[in-house]
Structure 1
Amino acid sequence: MSQPSPLITTEQLAAILGDPNLRLYDCTTYNEPVPPGSDVPYRAVPGDKTFAAGHIPGADFLDLQGEFSDTSAQQFFMMPDVAQLEAAFGRHGLDADKTIVLYSIGTMMWSTRFWWMLRSLGVDAQVLDGGFDKWKAEGRSIETGAPKGYPATAFKAAPRAGFFVDKTIVKARIGDPSAVIVNALGPQFHQGLEPSRYGRPGRVPGSVNVPAATLAKADKTLTTLADAEAKFAAAGVTRDKSVILYCGGGISATIDLLMLTQLGYDKLTLYDASMGEWARDPALPIETD
């Protein structure tokens, strides 16, 4: 069976809204600022309030940090074990045989993070291009109130290897000509020109920069494949190399991962802890301009 496109348009979603085979999820999280000197870079707040204020009809809400992350980890949003994810997705009625659509507010990175997590579990979901912002801007139907949810399932994952790597692997690939390490943060953070909320300013040595923000257009949809291809090529990202993506907390880099997947790259992985771990560990090398 052919895999679905990782993206679905607002028009396509509107055409299947109300279909009993649709499983639609709002994945929004907000990173709120914390006082200077705090031990954490931000406060992760679930988007349940904005969900209640308005969501796509029939959608359920997924709390990324609360239910779908390893809350014992030092960093936010770390991938938990498979059993935790099976239980959490099962509670929300996830069924790999259904049409699974993910969306978020403000940026697509929260839905692309869930998309990447689900891919690692053997589930091919779709992400709403432009998210709730585009849906709302087009005047499409909106529902308010708490999520009604879907009937629970006994979800069983079929894990795929290689979707996540740790700092040991990243460090070992520095300078490896068969690999390219890509930073999805903005250029000012990649170059170490501004203080970083994650710790030491700078980047993983030798890494190149394809900011996730440059892959999105003003209407929140993703850029064209031709434009994305040109941006990755200019940074030296080629199909013959293993590609390791990172950012601040393993979230915005999943936008790069979705674009690369669409472009046919298949040797892709995510450094899950990203700069949230790397910048705080003095034993790890860091590079600035």
Structure 2
Amino acid sequence: MSDIVVPASWVVDRLDDLRVVDVRDPWEYDGIGHVPGAVNIPFDAFRADEHAADGEGGGEGMLPGEDVFADLLGEAGIAREDDVVAYDDHHGVFAARFLVTAELYGHPTDRLHLLDGDFSAWQRDHETNGDAPDVEPTTYDIRAPSETPLVDADAVAAAIDDPDTVIVDTREDWEFEESHIPGAVAVDWRELVDDETRGLKSREDIEAILADAGITPDKRVLLYCNTARRISHTYVVLRHLGYSDLAFYEGSLTEWEAAGRPVESA
């Protein structure tokens, strides 16, 4: 496995060399405390619906737009060459969305890390801080990556009958049963998380869950949910496990259904 998903001990040993990003709400960051040195970039700040009036982004839960994201990171003192660790207090799903957004705007993928567990897990065994760090704003350099996992609805439609691709719905079972893309398999993103540790289950357990759904490293894995939040966590986990052929349907079921594309129900 890679160091994409990293334990708290890894972060503690490298705190002085990392930029730690807390994506919780400001009241949690200020009132409950945070990882020492962490900056606060709340989840709602990098959601497109926060900037819809400016024509930025693609809708609720979608990418916020290059200028918006660059300003957020620059104001937080984060540069493109920085090693970034993100966390939240929801098993990593909001933090994963931040990391995927950074990847899609060109931050080097080997410098993006998800804290294994979340703030509640960190707080059990490690120091927290209530003071925001002094940061020096910088200019964040957006560079479009040469390759991207993003696919559009037409690519998803073409994948439905592709035996080498497995389309994965990462929502809850009841959502899948109500409506899903034809041919998709269901793996709720939370199935990969241990409720007690709040971090990932063991590699063996995760691979067994994936294999039961027909998700194996020899397949192309195409992920979707409703508004691209939950697939972010599964995408980060699969990258961490070494899956190399991943596709990310940013529009997800919200866009798919709005376009009148066919759906199935269980």
TM-score, normalisation: structure 1: 0.80
- The amino acid of 2:165's aligned partner reads A
Q: Equivalent residue for 2:92?
A: 108
Stretches (4+) displaced over 6 A: none
Cα distance, 1:68 vs. partner?
A: 5.2
Task: Give structure 1 stretches of 5+ with no counterpart.
Answer: 29-46, 193-201
CA, structure 1 residues 276+155, in 2 after alignment: closer, same or farther (shift >3 Å)? same
SS in 1 for 2:157: helix
Separation (CA, whole Å) in 2 of partners of 1:48 and 1:265: 34
Cα distance, 1:74 vs. partner?
A: 6.4
Task: Give structure 2 stretches of 5+ with no counterpart.
Answer: none
Separation (CA, whole Å) in 2 of partners of 1:127 and 1:103: 6
Output one character per residue of 1:11-30: Cα deviation in whole Å (capped at 9) or x when no partner.
2222333x1x32111012xx
Cα distance, 1:220 vs. partner?
A: 0.8
Residues 1:151 and 2:136 aligned together: yes
Output one character per residue of 1:190-225: Cα deviation in whole Å (capped at 9) or x when no partner.
112xxxxxxxxx111110111111000022101112
Match of 2:228 among 222, 243, 250: 250
- The amino acid of 2:223's aligned partner reads L
Cα distance, 1:265 vs. partner?
A: 1.1
Cα distance, 1:256 vs. partner?
A: 1.3
Cα distance, 1:78 vs. partner?
A: 0.7
Separation (CA, whole Å) in 1 of partners of 2:190 and 2:205: 13
Q: Equivalent residue for 1:64?
A: 43
Separation (CA, whole Å) in 2 of partners of 1:163 and 1:12: 28
CA, structure 1 residues 75+149, in 2 after alignment: closer, same or farther (shift >3 Å)? farther
Separation (CA, whole Å) in 1 of partners of 2:262 and 2:180: 9
Aligned residues: 255
Q: Equivalent residue for 2:199?
A: 221
CA contact (8 A) 1:68 1:85 kept: no
Q: Equivalent residue for 2:149?
A: 163
User: Map of 1:93-242 to 2, 5 A cutoff?
Assistant: 93-120=77-104, 121-123=106-108, 124-138=111-125, 140-145=126-131, 147-148=132-133, 150-160=135-145, 161-192=147-178, 202-218=179-195, 219-242=197-220
Instruction: Please identify, of 61-70 and 248-257, the stretch whose mean Cα deviation from structure 2 is larger.
Output: 61-70
- The amino acid of 1:206's aligned partner reads G
- The amino acid of 2:135's aligned partner reads Y
TM-score, normalisation: structure 2: 0.87
CA, structure 1 residues 77+149, in 2 after alignment: closer, same or farther (shift >3 Å)? farther
Instruction: Please identify, of 69-78 and 254-263, the stretch whose mean Cα deviation from structure 2 is larger.
Output: 69-78
Output one character per residue of 1:230-281: Cα deviation in whole Å (capped at 9) or x when no partner.
21122112333322111122111122112211221111122112223334x2
Match of 2:66 among 75, 82, 99: 82
CA contact (8 A) 1:59 1:149 kept: no
Q: CA RMSD in A?
A: 2.2
Residues 1:264 and 2:242 aligned together: yes
Q: Equivalent residue for 1:22?
A: 18
- The amino acid of 1:51's aligned partner reads Y
User: Which one has the bigger helix percentage?
Assistant: 2
Q: Equivalent residue for 1:5?
A: 3
